[in-house]
Structure 1
Amino acid sequence: MQFNAITTCNVSNIAQVPTPTYQRTMKYLIYPKLILSLGLSAKADLFPNGDFATGNDGTWEEASGAGTYVYDYPATGGNNDQYGVIDHTANDGGYGIWVANGGGILTLASLGLTAGESYNFTQDMILLGGSDIGGFKLDFFNGPDGAGSTGDIRIDKIGDGSTWETYTYPITIPSGVDGIKAVPLWGIGSVVGFDNIGFDSNPIVTLPIPNSDFESGSISWLELKGGAATFSYPSTGGNPDGYGLIENDTNWAIWVANGGSPITLDALGINSGDIVTFQQDMRIFSGADIGTLKIEFLDGDTFLSDSGEDRPDIIGDGSTWETYSFPVTIPDDADRVKIVPVAGANSSVGFDNITFTTSPPPPAPGELTSPEIVNGTIVEWIANEVLQSVKDFLRLVRG
């Protein structure tokens, strides 16, 4: 079934209703001879009233639905003093969130942040009841219009959760956006305290395709589906370590990289017209169909075309991790792409290590290549000339 990551991702101007996902501890990433790590923030700038020093004076919009949620703002006991609480003791489903800035969009300029860069967002949390710690997400905007989301980010609880701890969320802000909404998330069936919700305005270094090895769980991957598929992020068993898994019983299911937002060719180091070979590791855990990878091409926000959803031939019986390649040519009028891993039909498929290599377009017929020295004589090869005999070869060499 053909589908389009642009048309299937409808983002409204309000914070999106969350879908629980999970994250794990970062590992060091090796990329073009650099060792990159996503470390903890040394200093955080707070969102408006991010320390709840004035309780809830309208700076935090309370939003909940389909469940029973209680919000509270104790004057003492935070990290330090005042803090906020989302109480879901009822454990009756639904969602309960805050939206910073009274629910309004925060411009990147007002925060000192830049589109296309990655930053550590942080919040302190403590578990006051239950077993599940809270989470966090960002929604992205271009003016008043929604432009994607990180989806729900839920980090593994630190210790037993009973002490104040700082939780860090490395997030790439997509190119082309100019605003965000910051959204702390409830703890499912739990009572969670929140304090010091903010960010470090110093950019961090990430891979060109954010979280391309799934070592950060769901971070930067927008989940979309048309049926009962489930997404999960095991911390072991990948190629190696963490990976993404889509269990797809019916219909279709995809991820979209970069929180659903396009990635500019400049950010990837790619030019229009280039031949790019995307690769992803895959393994079939159940079923008979392998996944695939689709690349969508855009000019600004305008969808141009895509690479299609042809399935590669399964390597062996599909039960081991193997690297599959997907060569594409970037259209001349494209300036950005969406990277879309696609689930296997009626199968459970693991995904890992989504990367790419690039090469310039081949010379046009008749175009001269760079001269080279052959037996002391400078010669040039004409790309579309066919040598019929040794005599033809000698004619080229001798000039």
Structure 2
Amino acid sequence: MNFQPDLIVVLDLGKSRLKIIYQIPTQAKVKALFIEPGIAELSPEEVGHLQPSRTAAPEDDAWLMLPSTQPLAVGFLAETRFAPRCDTKEAKYKIVSGAVRYLTAIGAIAQREKEALIEYKGFASKGTDNAAKYLRIHATLLLPHVEMPNASSLRSELAGVAPKPIQFNFRGQDYTHLTVPDYFKLNILAEGAGQLALRGTQLSEAEFARKNILVLVMGQYNVTAMLYQRGQCVKIESPALGFHNLVNYVLDKTALDASIIRRAQLTEAIYYGRDDRSLLQALLIGKVEKEEHIQQLTKEMVSAVDDGFKSYWNSTANWLKTMLGPNLVTLDEVLVGGGASVAFKEEIEKLFGNAKVIWGGGIKREIAQTFGLKLSDPMVNRLVDAYGVFKRVSQMYKSSVDKVTA
């Protein structure tokens, strides 16, 4: 293979946190970082007052400037310091948000790995004059199935018909990202591709073709089910049955004011609230004055969370039964991914009792060890799709990397 990347990066562009897995091939370590979905427009005056934090990770202190848009705060910075105007649903940035989040990730990696990338023109630190070569990037973007119609627009934003260098400024530093084929390989895949890639390495083609396999991805906004028979996908559905419905249910059933609590904090408290009720009460600290109101709201939230989990699973299970029909009892395997799925582990295994249910691509321990996570952390299951794609891409270049690092 002639193209040898200096950076391999996989981005899972789900509508919750952006999951990024990357590696500089001459280094052994594979790394991950995460960026919240929020985007907020900034005025030139606001940008002028921003200074890179010395203690925060670049991805948590991210602002981006492109020639084609207003300056933007991205992720945690947008959702905290600029919360009133923060767009977490990306409605305003339907086409460009993928490009914004991709370039934010590249900027964050560049500043995390500034010593390793100092020799690359356009990515070297300010004042470095001896950088002579440009960075070669192999990027793979994973999109929700409902976003795949936007894939061509996203490709045009990043690579275009007549590729031009992308000039962008991340946290006050200018970068040049070449997009010509000799320096940039871009793949855009639908979610679930990584789980399939992992299973494909564990089964022969003949074994895969013999099995009835369901790929189930339970995300924040959508739940996607892909049915494979005789080695090919025969049915896909991706309704808006994501975990956000459970969050909305709790809000509807309580007097909780969502405008005073970050959506991410609320989602996390509800996710873990069945096992740790103190997380629900903690949401109210400093937001509600009277102790009796705190106790009443906590009681309402606990009840709403319990009812919400039951209601949410009933809706999801009914959809799966309708989608699969008789195939429900003939499934051989169910490949489960997405952070929301872990909260319904018992229910999923009961529903698919006739099939082998595979969590974390069958390599949960490898994922946990690679990224320093606990085996029980839901992030393990959230990373499986991106990690499966990363393993497939990195394997393409492995022989060349082995020669360099030997």
| TM-score when normalising by structure 1 | 0.26
TM-score, normalised to structure 2, is 0.26
Between structures 1 and 2, the one with greater helix share: 2
Question: Would you tell me which structure has more strand in proportion to its own residues?
Answer: 1
